[in-house]
Amino acid sequence: MSRYEVKFSPRVISRQRKVPKIRRIADLLEEVYGPKRWERKVDPLSQLIKTILSQNTTDSNSLRAFQNLRERFPTWLQVHNASVQDVAKAIRSGGLAQIKARRIKEILVQICHQYADCDLSFLSGWPTWRIRDFLAQFTGVGEKTIACVLLFSLGRPVMPVDTHVLRVSKRLGLLPQEANASRAHHLLQAVVPANLVYSFHLNLIQHGRTTCKARNPSCKGCSLRRLCPAYPILLAPHDQREDATR
């Protein structure tokens, strides 16, 4: 276990206490990173493929892969008609190109054969549970990918959990230390108020990238330190290093 992992299991607060704490955390994060307002940037099928490309890579690499794919194939029907090798070449910057290309092709084969226009905009009229079931049928589409489509493209208050959200939520005592990403989706979904999901999700990610990093977290300058049970534990190695240099 890394010294930056919390070496204790903080008592996870009750749901009754968790919601007010989440509201306070959300307010503090918005003070630092600004409020986020939902706006749909892409259609559901584009968001689905964009999220698949984001798996196991950086945002910059996945964005480049998505842009390259759209430049090479302006429509999803063209991607459907292309070979796996040509799709893989277009998305190479996103990593795991062969695997992702096959998954994208398989998804498009199913969708384009069932819906001639290769479009999933009709999902906006479906209830959330039905959309979940529909998307879950595709290989390589898990809870995080489904949540991203629901939140970012369809405006549903569904909380995606990536590595940053998982790490920061555990340190803040919102999740038990042993919770995996799958369980975290359900636990956070049950306690994050619907009107906060979008901004809370994006700001938690930004906080995880800039302050509450996996290694060398910037605890002393963290706006959430007074609410964080992990703060004194994570701060200790930093203080010890400072003492050693004196």
Q: What is the largest CA-CA distance in the chain?
A: 70
CA 229 to chain centre: 23
Active site residue 144: yes
111 close to 45: Cβ distance less than 8 angstroms: yes
| Joined tokens for residue 112 | 């384009």
Q: From the candidates 18, 105, 144, 170, give the one annotated as an active-site residue.
A: 144
CA distance 211 to 77: 42
Query: Among the residues of the chain, which ranges form H helices?
Result: 15-33, 44-54, 59-72, 76-81, 84-90, 97-114, 128-136, 143-148, 163-171, 181-191, 197-210, 231-245
The token pair that represents 159 in the structure block: 């909380």
DSSP per-residue letters across 96-129: -HHHHHHHHHHHHHHHHHHSTT---GGGGGS-HH
User: Any idea which residues carry the catalytic annotation?
Assistant: 144
